[in-house]
A and B are shown apart, each in its own frame.
Chain A
């Protein structure tokens, strides 16, 4: 147990370090911006006085390391700065949208994770059967489709005939059932793409383990195939499967951006894309950091769970 705790602390420290480096990277990349941000905001015909004023307002006249510390300090305390385009505190823009995006991701995960693991296990059990081949080819096709293609196809078939809304217009005050209904098509789009990935990787993880000598040993002990899968393969496949799930949930974060645009969903992705269009740098910085933190956090969690389920680490002399 002691080893486990030390290990978790090490991973956490590494995660924090990664986040720190990320924030530095995000900050520095804006520093590398060709030209002056203030000039950029005001346009070419701005007077030097106006530019100087906005530089002071944005703190651009301070040296970079001071600005970085202030920026990071603000971020940690929830002060994300002010949007250049909308002239509002970024935290007010991000908070409700982040909530929506999290809702959509969670909704998808609840459908996709169990579905993918069950399908992946079945495919590995019936390896090389027709079920396996067809599900494999289907999954491969699903992976290959851009999210907007899947999204528009679903709109074409399920929204035009009026079964589901094509615009997922929700607010934090929308009742849950209505929310679930409104978000069904975006969630389904994400599910299709993510399930395919997850299922293939689950299958591969289990098949890797089925090729190991101790599985042959179990066969030679006269153990039933179902018991071999659940008792001998699964405990050892747990760590790779947890990693697969985390990897795909992290992938969801990327997929969500496109899906939000297709379904005009008021989420963080849409905010970020708008930010990019208007070159609203503080908004882009803040949303990048939020997305990246979620990504790092998920991978960290997977790392910890998968090592914690390893008996080698749990019991070491």
Chain B
């Protein structure tokens, strides 16, 4: 190898990118993904890369390894790692760097581990192939890393196959694997995005601990500012392939310079006033002692009861598998409960949606998480919105056309511009607005919002929340808001229902829910949501203890 690799003077940056341009193939034309980004990273430094989807974060992260996905190419600029020009290295030379000196931690650990091999074999592969360690040495090292990362039964842990361990454990196992050759640099590509909040914490704690201990430099990619604030020394903000600004974490949080960055921060502050509870009226939707499941042997919901009143928003929170979405399916009539009932304005609803009258169907509408799959891609906006108006209200011809245009104006989209488009010609936020228009076209009394903002970027999400808020007061709507994001709850809810394993563990007005004392699980859930304070994770670990977070803490509750 070239003698330059021995250049280890601590003053020179470990990674230098200059004016990097990357293009990607989209529909048979090359489009810009990264247009001229500079990046410097010193030894032991953690750089947070932040941006919305499509900002080019992952592409830039992979470029730091000299790697491009199929259909991407680096067209200009230079990437230097420890004095080596990565763009002029041969494939073989790059292979010797990857895994050994630069490692990668992917978003989905479940998909990134080979299902056919044991964890320990996958851990040892890089050290063995790069001649860094012997097999036995690598195994001992793995055990020590597993132990350090609080993985259960560290001696035996590596003998399992990927499908035999939980998501949070797998993500830590992948971090351990990245450390297997003691690299100088690790790229973390949204390592906790796919995890629940309580699990996210234990992975964050483990990653931070290990990065500090080995003094490894890292690039931490995320769309979640609060997460990056815990991990990074410096933060770089990207927007559509351009750098917006870069500053140290503390400075970035306190006084962002650019408008775009400020707007990202501002989102978190949106909150509306709690709506007054109208007393003396039947609740719009009342769920009474519902027990339900997909097979008779296993109940997903266990004796769930709560009510939603007129013009109020009830947020149902909980982690994956808590039964939030199943509750929605029972209300809509897609899943018949084994016991219990659902009523609308005092009158019971038939358990199966096929037995409901057209008017009953009209009054319960739904807005979905993924606007992409919630709209038929072959129908035009006009037809998508017109269908419920025509079906339920019997509109046709001129009247129908006018109604569609009114609805488009209500969701703040210019009718002439959008009415003849297909869903694929809209942005994510616009698609979600069409979903809302389709729901209100039925003139319902009640709408279920299933994680409506979680697939959207923060700014767009805020717009959607504001729109829903406005429509609620204009149209006297009641909402059931399914979410795992407590920031959304703070922003829009009047009441909160906390669910865990199919049970309602706590419920009450928002004003009470965010004030202690809580049920232990609610406290854990609330406490696990990262805050925009770089010291948040430190304080949390100090107050709870490193082995009382995430799964371990849940296990203690039982």
Give A contacts to B, CB under 8 Å. Answer: 212-214, 216-224, 227, 232, 235-236, 311-312, 315, 317
Contact = CB atoms under 8 A, between A and B. Distances in A.
B265 interface: no
B129 A217 contact: no
B125 interface: yes
A221 B111 contact: no
The 7 A-B pairs at the shortest CB distance, nearest first, are namely: A221-B99, A222-B99, A222-B98, A235-B116, A213-B111, A220-B104, A222-B95
A227 B117 CA distance: 14
Contact of B126 (A214, A221, A232): A221
> Could you tell me the dominant secondary structure of chain A's interface residues?
helix
A219 B94 CA distance: 10
B466 interface: no
Nearest to A223: B129
Given A213-B108, A214-B111, A232-B114, A223 B99 contact: yes
B353 interface: no
B125 A221 contact: yes
Interface in B114-165: 114-117, 125-126, 129-130, 161, 163-164
B557 to A, nearest CB: 23
B116 A222 contact: no
Nearest to A237: B116
Given A222-B130, A223-B125, A312-B115, 18 more contacts: A212-B111, A213-B111, A214-B111, A214-B115, A216-B69, A216-B112, A217-B104, A218-B114, A219-B67, A221-B104, A222-B95, A222-B126, A222-B129, A223-B99, A235-B114, A235-B117, A236-B114, A236-B115
Contacts of B99: 220-223
Contacts of B130: 222
A212 B116 CA distance: 13
B95 A236 contact: no
A213 B98 CA distance: 16
Contacts of B97: 222
A317 B164 contact: yes
29 contacts: A213-B108, A213-B111, A214-B111, A214-B115, A218-B114, A219-B67, A219-B98, A220-B62, A220-B67, A220-B99, A221-B98, A221-B99, A221-B103, A222-B94, A222-B95, A222-B96, A222-B97, A222-B98, A222-B99, A222-B100, A222-B130, A223-B99, A224-B95, A224-B129, A227-B129, A232-B114, A235-B116, A311-B161, A312-B161
Contacts of B104: 217, 220-221
A213 B62 CA distance: 13
Nearest to B114: A214
A259 to B, nearest CB: 38
Interface string B98-110: 1110011010100
A84 to B, nearest CB: 53
Contacts of B220: none
B65 interface: yes
A110 B95 CA distance: 39
A315 B112 contact: no
Given A219-B98, A220-B67, A222-B96, A213 B161 contact: no
Contacts of B164: 315, 317
From A217, A224, A236, A317, residue with most partner B Cβ within 10 Å: A217
B344 interface: no
B479 interface: no
A219 B115 CA distance: 16
Contacts of A220: 62, 65, 67, 98-99, 103-104
A210 to B, nearest CB: 10
A220 B116 CA distance: 18
A315 B116 CA distance: 11
B446 interface: no
A213 B125 contact: no
From A220, A223, A311, residue with most partner B Cβ within 10 Å: A220
Contacts of B81: none
Contacts of A317: 164
B158 to A, nearest CB: 14
Given A221-B98, A315-B164, A213 B129 contact: no
B113 interface: yes
Nearest to A232: B114
B62 to A, nearest CB: 8
B106 A217 contact: yes
B129 A315 contact: no
A142 B130 CA distance: 44
Given A220-B67, A220-B98, A232-B114, A312 B126 contact: no
Interface in B74-102: 94-100
Interface in B176-219: none
Nearest to B129: A223
Contacts of B69: 216
Contact of A311 (B62, B115, B129): B115
B420 to A, nearest CB: 36
B100 A236 contact: no
Given A220-B67, A223-B129, A214 B98 contact: no
B28 to A, nearest CB: 15
B125 A311 contact: no
Nearest to A221: B99
Contacts of A217: 104, 106, 112-114
Given A220-B65, A221-B98, A221-B125, A312 B114 contact: no
Contacts of B163: 312
A83 to B, nearest CB: 52
Contacts of A227: 129
A129 to B, nearest CB: 15
Contacts of A232: 114, 116
A244 to B, nearest CB: 18
A223 B92 CA distance: 10
Nearest to A314: B161
